[in-house]
Chain A
């Protein structure tokens, strides 16, 4: 297995991109990544997209996007694992380069969500759940996380305020991110007074509907050095699945797939969680971030809410979580999220994150999750 580096990153402003089609959004971002890497020919491409089929009626995405990127005959595949599609694409690209099969591989993620009305988009997102035994009963994604939130609050005393503080912190970070969908702060009162979506979760507990893409270029470390790029390596990768149906889990407040994926990624990296300087995690809903930091082992099970309230996850805290603004402020074009997390960590490890820069960032971790934890992909990245 060779060492793998990320030699280029690309991302454009995320939001409701009415004028841009899926392929346009992808190509603009992919070209940014190619330019940043200084390469013009790829050996392979993996694109994460949760459901281009449901959102814009488009399957066969690998071929379409390879063509529009101008990469003739490129081996290209669409990768799907619900909201973990991007993270899984990153893993498959990593394995492709690490194994020696290919040298220069693009890993991208894209989702074009605003061509559907909100109820249709809710349905499309709901396909990450068990259709016959969860979707059939009218549950939605906010609903599933609301079930987790209530259980977490009743068992561990996590408070409504602690959930809201996750959103407030992520917006504070996102306000400094020019590419974020919502680059502005929000107040605690705004979160607590926003309309209910699925009790107890409110609009501002939920990541938004977003159009956007993100891309990274992977190459063996020797090639990175030859190109004289700052070397950021992927030193660990872990992937695990779990029952997608919440009712079939032993403990609905615990993200077992994240715990397993993180264990494997850290073991491969030869690191402990305490060695990691910053984290980009899957805050699709505020409660998710709380559960994730518990599953990663940053805090004891059940203590996630308290950690947030104590400011431990702030950019200047003991373990900075979501310096990019997270899914909440940056946006959540589903398939792109996992790759965008890597883009942020790379920028941070290069020292290019500007006002969002986490001081002394040497080792970063991305955690990307599908559904309510039916899949998790964790990567550990390190600056050389």
Chain B
């Protein structure tokens, strides 16, 4: 479970998918970094990620970590967005039989987890069939 500060710090990425594009080599980094792993440049411009993409691989989690017990079983996959950036996320609103590599998906704002009955509610992005 993140602390409120650890969660809040990542809001630009979790809510708005803000990424950084290397000015020298064009690599898009999500999350943004201070130095480009490909060309070592330290100059970036802010970009937003594409909203749709396709599933590259997926699995169904049946033995969850304890914060996700109430959500299991759930699907998690790696999605390649239309701008080439790959990210990991849950795939929801999709019966397991319909999951497949190549499935077109789009990003949707969803609840990630809750810190019990009295703690913070964490939000972020998940993928739904497009």
Contacts and interface: CB of A to CB of B under 8 A. Distances in A.
A118 B10 contact: no
Contacts of A282: none
Given A122-B66, A134-B88, A150-B101, A139 B57 contact: no
A153 to B, nearest CB: 10
B101 A197 contact: no
Contact of A199 (B14, B60, B87, B89): B60
Contacts of B31: 132-133
B61 A143 contact: yes
A246 B96 CA distance: 22
A13 to B, nearest CB: 26
* Chain B interface bracket (under 10, 10 to 19, 20 to 34, 35 or more): 35 or more
A138 B57 contact: no
A132 B124 CA distance: 11
Given A154-B101, A199-B59, A137 B78 contact: no
A136 B59 contact: no
Interface string B31-64: 1000001000000000000000000111111111
Nearest to B75: A199
Residue from A139, A146, A147 having most chain B Cβ neighbours under 10 A? A139
Interface in A137-153: 137-140, 142-143, 146-148, 150-151
A198 B2 contact: no
Contact of B88 (A117, A122, A137, A197): A137
A297 interface: no
Given A119-B69, A146-B59, A246-B78, A136 B64 contact: no
Contacts of B65: 119, 122-123, 126, 135, 138, 140
Contact of B112 (A137, A200, A245, A252): A137
Contacts of B101: 150-151, 154
A150 B57 contact: yes
A151 B80 CA distance: 13
Nearest to A248: B86
Contact of B61 (A131, A132, A136, A138): A138
Contacts of B56: 151, 252
A196 B113 CA distance: 23
Interface in A83-132: 117-120, 122-123, 126, 131-132
Contacts of B87: 133, 247
Contacts of B113: 138
A185 B86 CA distance: 40
Contacts of A243: 37
A314 to B, nearest CB: 29
B62 A147 contact: no
A36 B71 CA distance: 50
A199 B67 CA distance: 20
Contact of A150 (B10, B59, B90): B59
A263 B75 CA distance: 36
Contacts of B60: 196, 198-199
Contact of A245 (B6, B61, B67, B88): B88
A143 B76 contact: yes
Nearest to A139: B76
B63 A140 contact: yes
Contacts of A247: 78, 86-88
B68 interface: yes
Nearest to B6: A132
Contacts of A198: 59-63
Interface of A: 117-120, 122-123, 126, 131-140, 142-143, 146-148, 150-151, 154, 195-201, 243, 245-248, 252
Interface of B: 2, 6, 10, 14, 30-31, 37, 56-69, 71, 74, 76-78, 86-90, 96, 101, 112-113, 122, 124, 126
Given A122-B63, A123-B65, A136-B10, 5 more contacts: A120-B66, A137-B89, A150-B59, A151-B56, A198-B61
Top 9 closest A-B pairs, CB basis? A146-B59, A119-B66, A123-B65, A138-B68, A151-B57, A247-B86, A199-B60, A198-B59, A147-B57
7 contacts: A117-B66, A136-B124, A137-B76, A137-B90, A138-B76, A139-B61, A198-B61
